[in-house]
């Protein structure tokens, strides 16, 4: 990466904002998530993506989603729809979510915590 100037930073920001949106899978991996098994969830998502297809899908990890008592958690965000947060997950549930929601477009209601985004006030 070339060092940024103030102007280049602004254009880099605009480029990033305008990136084409893909199907986003987020596994929340703060210490609390990892302690309650989010590594297994991530593994299941990765292997499901190998097995079932990963075209147009971005898988990423973030820190804690806040609600430690409901970890492991995962968020699925499809273009044009609000993000959906899942909680109390394990590998099998994560695989089902990947197949039905990420690829199939239909949220797995029974594992959903809630839909919508949190953001800066």
Partner 1 sequence: MTKKSGRKQMTVSVCYGTCCVLNGAREVKQALEASLGRHRVPGRVKVTGGRCNAYCNLGPVVTVEPGGTVYGKVTAGDVEEIVKKHLVGGKVVKRLTIGEKPGLDSLPSLSDIGFFKDQVLIAMRNRGRIDPDSIDDYIANEGYLALPKALTEMKPEDIIDEVKKAGLRGRGGGGFPTGIKWGICRKSPGPDGKYVICNADEGDPGAFMDRSLLESDPHSVLEGMTIGARAIGADVGYIYVREEYPLALERVTKAIEVAHEYGLLGENILGTGFNFEINVVRGAGAFVCGEETALMASIEGEQGRPRPRPPFPAESGLWGKPTNVNNVETWANVAPIILRGGDWYASLGTEKSKGTKVFSLVGKIKNTGLIEVPMGTTLRQIIYDIGGGVLKDREFKAVQSGGPSGGCIPTSLIDLPVDYEELSKAGSIMGSGGLIVMDEDTCMVDVAHYFVAFLEEESCGKCTPCREGIRRMREILGRIVKGEGRRGDIDLLESLAVTIKEASLCGLGATAPNPVLTTLKYFRDEYEAHIYKKRCPAKVCKALIVYRVVADKCTGCQRCVKACPVGALAGARAQPHNLDQAKCIKCGACYEVCKFDAIAGDAIYVE
Residues that bind partner 1 (CB under 8 A): 1-6, 9-10, 12-13, 16-17, 19, 26, 28, 30-32, 34, 60-70, 73, 75, 78-85, 105-107, 109, 112-121
Nearer to partner 1, 52 or 112 (CB): 112
Minimum Å gap between C-beta 28 and partner 1 is 6
Minimum Å gap between C-beta 111 and partner 1 is 11
Minimum Å gap between C-beta 119 and partner 1 is 5
Q: Taking the CB of residue 44, how many other CB atoms lie within 10 A of it?
A: 22
Q: Which residues contact 91 (CB under 8 A, 6 or more apart)?
A: 40, 41, 43, 44
- Which residue, among 62, 92, 93, has the nearest Cα to 77 in the 3D structure? 62
DSSP state, 68? G
């Amino acid at each position: 990466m070339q060092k940024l100037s103030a102007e280049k930073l602004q254009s880099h920001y605009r480029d990033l904002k305008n990136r084409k949106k893909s199907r986003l899978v987020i596994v929340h991996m703060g210490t609390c998530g990892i302690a309650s098994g989010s590594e297994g969830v991530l593994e299941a998502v990765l292997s499901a993506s190998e097995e079932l297809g990963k075209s147009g899908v971005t898988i990423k990890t973030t820190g804690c989603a806040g609600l430690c008592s409901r970890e492991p958690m995962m968020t699925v965000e499809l273009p044009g729809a609000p993000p959906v947060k899942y909680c109390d997950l394990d590998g099998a549930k994560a695989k089902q979510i990947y197949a039905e929601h990420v690829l199939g477009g239909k949220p797995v209601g029974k594992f959903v915590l809630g839909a919508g985004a949190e953001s800066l006030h």
